[in-house]
Amino acid sequence: MGANTGNRESYLLQCIDLLNLHAGTVTGMSSIYESEPWGFDDPVWFLNQAIALETRLTPQALLECTQHIEQTLGRTRTKTGYQARTIDIDILLYGDCVIKTPDLVIPHPRMTERMFVLQPMAELAPDVEHPVLKRTMKVLREQCEDRKIVRKQDSKKARKQKSKVVRITSNSVLLIILFAFLFSCRGRSYNTQQPEENINITEQQKTEVLLRVNRQLVEEESKEIESFAERKGWQMQTTGTGLRYMIYERGRGAKAVTGKVVTLAYTVSLLDSTVCYSSEQLGLKKFRLGHNDEERGLDEGVLLMRVGDKARMIMPPHLAYGLTGDGDCIPFRAIILYDVELIYVE
């Protein structure tokens, strides 16, 4: 994905959400990189990011889907060459496919010329091979002669974002947001004399697939949380939304109530014990209950507490930072653990 107008980072996050909704399941993301405009001059640089996506869409259907997402986010295509844009989604790879049609060429014909493509690709999928050149993304990056500046974006909170390198299989698609897509082609080649099969999918079928995928993701997250709690020996309760919590030390103060301002001492960590944020580093957390849109699970958990209580809460992504993470320490689709002490209610 690439964006250089408006709120660039917001466009990238919206694009990821729309891909999850309409194209498949995002399974990996590179760090966000900032790069000089390529092919034209503009004072505003691009933000670029590589994405891994699992999809059942055919290459042509995937192209149409990404173009629709671009239009939804305000992209207007013209015939005047390279120019500024809200979002740009390029299909770089589709598994080991070699595709050549009037509308779509994969591998992307200019991907090896562009460092802003190869840098995030080499981070996300360093060992994936170009199906024609038979060289890995890491090697192609090292051999690229493009000298335009490409730099990893600094975190807003002065932290380095942990990029997630995933193992890309033939069942995945790579995008670069600039997107690269990987998907299994089983060795097929597409050309203008071999048109792609046209598969008509109704809106009801799309909805059914999305619901099925979502249920599967929720089930997998639930199993991961249950396994983690069992290993820790924690006896946790589960709310209707999927929040797991346990109050391991009881206080005697006022109960938390919607609309009240609460003050917390806290530690936020991932299930692999990585500490992301804490009140020791950033100070006590203070917010009004019912107005914490960023972490709905925290609101829900604190409402079960009273002053002096200490609690652990395990939040699946939909109750924490969603599919995209926070762009800093929290990665995409992260399950997070809150260790909380309720200090004040006012």
What residue spans define the domains of the chain?
A: 2-194, 229-345
Confidence category of residue 52, pLDDT binned at 50, 70, 90: confident
Phi then psi dihedrals of residue 288, to 5 deg:
-95, 125
Residue 108, token pair as written in the block: 């992307």
Catalytic residue among 75, 135, 296, 306: 75
Fold of domain 229-345: Chitinase A; domain 3 (3.10.50)
> Lowest mean pLDDT: which of 160-169, 201-210, 230-239, 318-327?
160-169
Check if 2-194 and 229-345 are the same fold: no
Cα–Cα nearest to 192, from 106, 109, 103, 100: 100
Catalytic residue among 8, 88, 141, 333: 88
Of 216 and 164, more confident: 216
Catalytic site includes residue 88: yes
Alpha helices in 144-260 (DSSP H): 203-232
d(CA 244, CA 229): 9
Catalytic residue among 8, 17, 41, 85: 85
Catalytic residue among 90, 146, 299, 326: 90
- Antiparallel, parallel or unpaired: β 285-288 and 90-93: unpaired
How many other β-carbons are positioned within 10 Å of the β-carbon of residue 261? 12
Q: What is the pLDDT of residue 319?
A: 86
Confidence category of residue 210, pLDDT binned at 50, 70, 90: low
d(CA 23, CA 231): 35
Q: Domain 2-194 - what CATH class?
A: alpha beta
d(CA 217, CA 229): 18
In a 3-state reduction of DSSP, which class is residue 256?
coil
Catalytic site includes residue 90: yes
d(CA 258, CA 260): 6
> Lowest mean pLDDT: which of 41-45, 111-115, 308-312?
41-45
d(CA 94, CA 188): 11
pLDDT at 158 over 80: no
Using the structure block, give the residue that is written with the tokens 């694009």: 15
Residue 50 contacts residue 177 (beta carbons within 8 Å): yes
Residue 105, token pair as written in the block: 């060429």
**Over the chain, what is the mean pLDDT?**
78
Q: What is the pLDDT of residue 147?
A: 86
Catalytic site includes residue 75: yes
Catalytic site includes residue 85: yes
CA 336 to chain centre: 15
d(CA 303, CA 262): 10
- Antiparallel, parallel or unpaired: β 33-35 and 336-345: unpaired
What's the whole-number mean pLDDT along residues 140-158? 77
In a 3-state reduction of DSSP, which class is residue 102?
coil
Sequence letter at residue 151: R
d(CA 32, CA 157): 15
Q: What is the pLDDT of residue 23?
A: 81
What's the whole-number mean pLDDT along residues 296-318? 93
d(CA 320, CA 297): 6
